[in-house]
Amino acid sequence: MSKSTISRRGVLKTGAIAGAGLALPTYLRADGHTGYTNAPGDSPTVTIGFNVPQTGPYAEEGLDELRAQELAVEHLNGEGDGGMLNTFSEKNLDGTGILGKKVEFVTGDTQTKSDVARASAQSMIQKDGCIMITGGSSSGVAVAVQDLCQSSGVIFMAGLTHSNDTTGKDRKANGFRHFFNGFMSGAALGPVLEAEYGNERSAYHLTADYNWGWTTQESIQATTEGLGWQTQEAVLTPVGAGDFSSYIAPVLNSGADTLILNHYGGDMVNSLTQAVQFGLKDRQVNGNDFKIIVPLYSELMAAGAGANIQGVIGSMNWNWQLEDEGTKAFVKSFGEKYGFPPSGAAHTCYVQTLLYADAVTRAGTFNPCGVVEALEDFEFDGMGNGPTTYRGADHQCFKDVLVVKGTENPTNQYDTLEIVDQTPRSQVEYAPDHPMFGGAEASLGTCNPGA
Amino acid sequence: MDAIILQILNGLDKGSAYALIALGLTLIFGTLGVVNFAHGALFMIGAFCSVTLQRMLSTSFEMVDETQTDFLGNPLKVETPYVEAWFGPEVGAAIIDWSVPLAIFLAIPVMIAVGFAMERGLIKHFYKRPHADQILVTFGLAIVIGEIIKANFGANPISTPAPEAFRGAMDFGVLLGFEPNTIIYPYWRLVYFLFAIVIIASVFAFLQFTTFGMVVRAGMADRETVGLLGIDIDKRFTFMFGLAAAVAGLAGVMYTPILSPHYNIGMDFLVLSFVVVVVGGMGSLPGAVLAGFVLGILQSFASMNEVKAILPGIDQIIIYLVAIIILLTRPRGLMGRKGVMEE
């Protein structure tokens, strides 16, 4: 019979030493000796994190973002036809990765939930050693992940986020947004709405009851009221309501002749479909033909709405039908690889990945503060939106905005939207301290390298 | 007045869906004693029968048209549905146009088969287990089915329009003596309401006027005694599970033009339908139907701007509020029977 030498105290001591030993590499990697989080040091590779919705209501957009991000990595590593690297005005990226390091990536699923997205991004930063996080299809997620990246000392290149707050009151020094925003939608839509529908209209808003819906309604309402339109009613609708009929029915006898659907995703598909079923597009009110407006369009949602979208005006950040060389190069790369044209969400994520790589190359370092400096007030072209500036004051990209309309006579399954107008960038610009963007109190803070 | 009538009409079609799902839930609970949280998934499978048939009918062959180009600048591959090639463009297009109503004929056998498979393969093993176990396993099953649907059809809503003849809206107000264009109601919602009435009436007639139905009702009232008479009540109850699945599936098929189907559509209806069952009275078929329509109409009224101006957010809680009030004043629900879920 042998006597056991294992004691409670011994187990605790051994456990503590083993735990500290296991945690040490992560700690060293996180705050290493080079002065910033997840510095790659002498590693031949660098890892970036694609944090997109792979499940949940925006999974289709997330998966399209992921396709584009994988394509961007291929191009950065010298594979494929190079895509927009051939048209990008900067010529620093030569297909040898970033600063000579091969680009690797990890993916995470945001599920379009802020807490899940944060946890996913945190895991990418702490466990996978990501130097940059990009992607996403929701403003709530973008604001949450941007905040995490700021406090963790990594760069966040936002995906699809349209709320004014992302680069407004919630702006952060480590965060950058290429996608346009609600204010820009309003500014772009204004002239087209005036030309198409005149100055004497009465609008009824149905607005998704969350941050994006509120800021979009505020922006569009300011635009339409600026045109002389009346705002008949602005009704908040629950996110994911499904059946909007009880919100649409009051529109019929409200005296309004225009319905503005500040909805996105499945809500937009359902509310638009049901508005059409209620015959709104066939009505005449106040001597005007009744019109429906969707401030933010997406190709994937347009496909979901089917024929109901025909003739309905909205705005977009980018569309695959643009004729510039950058767009052609990207559509060719994406189309040949996947067999269908890319969505706007895919485009913005592809461009964000290349812009980050270029900024690192110009800065000569992965240090987030060097990247921030390289991106601030950076002017570029050849990425599909014409001459573009990453404004230093709020890290918002300024470029042309598209006004689009549901195609009346589609010729194929991808022919869902037609471009009505390419609103020049000068028309959608605003002051960094604009009241809709947090006013004078809004601040980027200082860049955080994390170390 | 016109606004009130409009909301009643809206409540009727919404209530129709609640009533059909709750009817199936009650059939399953009343016969098998199972709390089936996968019932919303059956509604979703029905909805995707519409999508499947639409896609089957739209299956096309490709022909290269050298005069046109695709988005990459290559010669355009023009897709022509086989049905248009076989029956001519007009007849073929009409068949595709009617894919939603035609999906009823696909959904009935599919849903009965799914119901049988679900009951025999999984749920029968949980008959004697606590209700909490039944809820957990059926809820898990609902999630699995949702993920399978997503893997095959994607996450986005899929457009499934009503036939051309039923698109648009009718001027209901004129029928009631109102000014033209005062009360507008979509044709398809009216079709859905009438369809729901026919299905509900058929289920009641089946249970009321057939020998099979009579035995099932007897089994619902006293399973042991019916068994002692030498009747294999389990087989009949399994059939009733299939019937309940078919009712939920048909509700889903016909709802697709109102709400574009997506992988989570069943969950959207499930919780509300359970509230409907509880309010109607556990195990009471007429109670489920009555509560479905009542709660559907109340939910529509609560969405009126005038109501929300007085009670903000009431549209989100009205159903639960009414459920609390009814259960406080009538603990067995509107038409619940003594002894059901009271042991």
Q: How far apart are CA A188 and CA B283, in angstroms?
A: 57
A277–B257 C-beta distance less than 8 A:
yes
Chain B closest-CA separation from residue A383 CA (Å):
18
Q: How close A246 comes to chain B (CA, Å)?
A: 5
The answer to whether B219 touches B233, Cβ cutoff 8 Å, is yes
- Hey, which residues 216-235 in chain A have their CB within 8 Å of chain B? 233, 235
The predicted model scores a pTM of 0.83
Q: Which of B76, B179, B259, B273 to mutate to test the interface with A (most CBs of A within 10 A)?
A: B259
Calculate how close chain A gets to B328, using CA atoms only, in Å: 28
Q: What average pLDDT does the structure give for chain A?
A: 90
Q: For chain A, what percent of residues have pLDDT higher than 70?
A: 92
Question: Is residue B144 assigned to a domain?
Answer: yes
Q: Say whether residue A338 is in contact with chain B using an 8 A CB cutoff.
A: no
**Domain's final residue, options A377, A398, A419:** A398
CATH number of the domain to which A276 belongs? 3.40.50.2300
Interface check A25 vs B, CB under 8 A: no
In a domain, B119, yes or no: yes
Segment A35-59 shows an average pLDDT of 91
Is A304 near chain B, with CB under 8 Å?
yes
The average pLDDT across B109-115 equals 94
Whether A25 is in a domain gets the answer no
The answer as to whether A38 is a domain residue is no
Average pLDDT over residues A60-80: 95
- For chains A and B, CB pairs below 8 A equal 124
Q: Using the predicted structure, report yes or no on whether residue A167 has a pLDDT greater than 90.
A: yes
Domain CATH code at residue B231: 1.10.3470
Query: Does a structural domain hold residue B83?
Result: no
Q: Structural domain of residue A250, as residue ranges?
A: 183-316
Q: Please indicate whether, in this complex, the C-beta atoms of B3 and A243 are within 8 angstroms of each other.
A: no
Inform me whether the C-beta atom of residue A191 falls under 8 Å from chain B C-beta atoms.
Answer: no
| Residue A147 shares a structural domain with residue A229 | no
What pLDDT, on a 0 to 100 scale, did the predictor assign at position A25? 44
Interface test with B, best of A67, A252, A272, A310 (most B CBs within 10 A): A252
The token pair that represents A328 in the structure block: 């052609």
Query: Residues 57-76, chain A: which have Cβ within 8 Å of B?
Result: 57-60
* Identity of the residue in A243, A253, A335 whose CB atom sits nearest the CB atom of B2: A253
Domain count, chain B: 1
pLDDT band at A356 (very low <50, low <70, confident <90, very high): very high
Is residue A149 predicted with pLDDT exceeding 80? Answer: yes
The one-letter code for the residue type at A388 is T
CA distance A276 to chain B (A): 7
The pLDDT assigned to B339 comes to 60
DSSP secondary structure of A119-147: HHHHHHHHTS--SEEEE-S-HHHHHHHHH
Residue A175 has pLDDT above 70, yes or no: yes
Residue B55 has pLDDT above 60, yes or no: yes
**What pLDDT is recorded for position A365?**
96
Going by pLDDT thresholds of 50, 70 and 90, the confidence category of residue B7 is confident
| pLDDT tens by residue, A213-245 | 999 999 999 999 999 999 999 999 988 777 888
Q: Is residue A33 a part of any domain in this protein? A: no
One domain, residues A89 and A207: no
The pLDDT of residue B68: 81
Work out the minimum CA distance from B221 to partner chain A, whole angstroms. Answer: 37
Q: What is the pLDDT, as a whole number, of residue A405? A: 95
Separation CA A247–CA A226 (nearest Å): 26
Q: What are phi and psi of B176, to 5 degrees?
A: -100, 5
Min Cα separation B164/chain A (Å)? 11
Percent of chain B, pLDDT > 70?
A: 98
Q: What is the pLDDT of residue A294?
A: 96
Of A49, A40, A29, A30, which Cα lies nearest the Cα of A106? A49
**Which residues contact residue A387 at a Cβ distance below 8 angstroms, ignoring those fewer than 6 apart?**
A379, A380, A381, A399, A425
Which residues of B fall within a CB distance of 8 Å from A346?
none
Are A303 and B159 in contact by the 8 Å Cβ rule? The answer is yes
Q: Which of A243, A341, A412 sits opposite B259 (nearest CB)?
A: A243
Task: Report in angstroms the alpha-carbon separations of B234 from B31, B130, B190, B203.
Answer: 9, 19, 38, 19
Q: Examine the domain organization and report whether A51 and A158 are in the same domain.
A: yes
Compute the nearest-CA separation of B92 from chain A (Å): 18
pLDDT average, residue stretch B71-84: 87
Tally the domains of chain A: 2
**Chain-chain contact of B260 with A341 (C-beta, under 8 angstroms):** no
> In the structure encoding, which two tokens stand for residue B334, read together?
């509107």
> In A, which residues are within 8 Å of B154 by CB distance?
59-60
C-alpha distances (whole Å) from B142 to each of A240, A400, B37, B38, B41 are 19, 45, 7, 5, 5
**pLDDT 10s digits, B25-41:** 888 887 888 888 889 99
Task: Report, as an integer, the average pLDDT of B68-83.
Answer: 86
Q: Which residues of A touch B181 (CB under 8 A)?
A: 252, 283
Quick check: B172 contacting A, CB < 8 Å? Answer: no
Question: Is A280 part of a structural domain of the chain?
Answer: yes
Is pLDDT at B101 greater than 50 in this prediction?
A: yes
What would the pLDDT profile of A366-401 be if each residue is shown by its tens digit? Answer: 999 999 999 999 999 999 999 999 999 999 999 999
Q: And the tokens for B222?
A: 């006293």
Do A124 and A272 sit in the same domain of this protein?
no
Q: In this predicted model, what pLDDT tens digit does every residue of B296-326 receive, in sequence order?
A: 999 888 888 888 888 888 888 888 999 899 8
pLDDT band at B130 (very low <50, low <70, confident <90, very high): confident
Last residue of a domain, one of A289, A316, A343: A316
Task: Please state the rounded mean pLDDT for residues B257-276.
Answer: 86
* A253 and chain B in contact, CB less than 8 A: yes
Interchain CB distance below 8 Å, B154 and A59: yes
pLDDT band at A319 (very low <50, low <70, confident <90, very high): very high
Choose between B18 and A355: higher pLDDT.
A355
Query: Mean of the pLDDT values across residues A243-258?
Result: 89
pLDDT in tens, A85-136: 999 999 999 999 999 999 999 999 998 899 999 999 999 999 999 999 999 9
CA atoms within 13 A on the CB side of A247: 29
Q: What average pLDDT is seen over chain B? A: 88
Domain final position from A281, A316, A351: A316
Residues of A within 8 A of B268 (CB-CB) are 240, 242
Looking at per-residue pLDDT, the higher value among B283 and B241 belongs to B241
Looking from the CA of A164 toward its CB, the CA atoms found within 13 Å total 28
Q: Answer whether residue A158 is part of any domain.
A: yes
Taking CA atoms, what residue in B is nearest to A274?
B258
Give A387 to chain B, closest Cα distance, Å. Answer: 24
**Which residues does chain B have within 8 Å of residue A270's beta carbon, measured at their own beta carbons?**
157, 259-260
Q: Would you place residue B342 in the very low, low, confident or very high pLDDT band (cuts 50, 70, 90)? A: low
Q: Quick check: is A364 in a domain? A: yes
Q: Are A209 and A230 members of one domain?
A: yes
The Cα–Cα gap between A429 and A431 comes to 7
Range of the domain at B202: 2-58+99-329
B39 reaches A (C-beta below 8 A): no
| A363 found inside a domain | yes
Q: pLDDT tens across B240-255, in order? A: 899 999 999 999 999 9
Picking from A243, A306, A335, the nearest residue to B258 by CB comes out as A243
B71: nearest CB among A278, A283, A414: A414
- A449 within some domain: no
CA distances from A102 to A98, A300, B271 (A): 7, 32, 50
DSSP code, position B75: E
Averaged over B153-161, what is the pLDDT?
86
Q: Which residue has the higher pLDDT, A10 or B233?
A: B233
pLDDT of A59 > 90? The answer is no
pLDDT attached to residue B84: 92
User: What's the pLDDT band for A16 if we cut at 50, 70, 90?
Assistant: low
What is the ipTM, given to two decimal places? 0.80
pLDDT confidence tier of residue A17, bands split at 50, 70 and 90: low
Interface list for A 119-148 with B (CB within 8 A): none
Give me the half-sphere count of Cα atoms (radius 13 Å) on the Cβ side of residue A173: 18
Nearest CA in chain A to B7: A246
The nearest CA of chain A is from the CA of B210 a distance in Å of 37
Same domain, A263 and A326: no
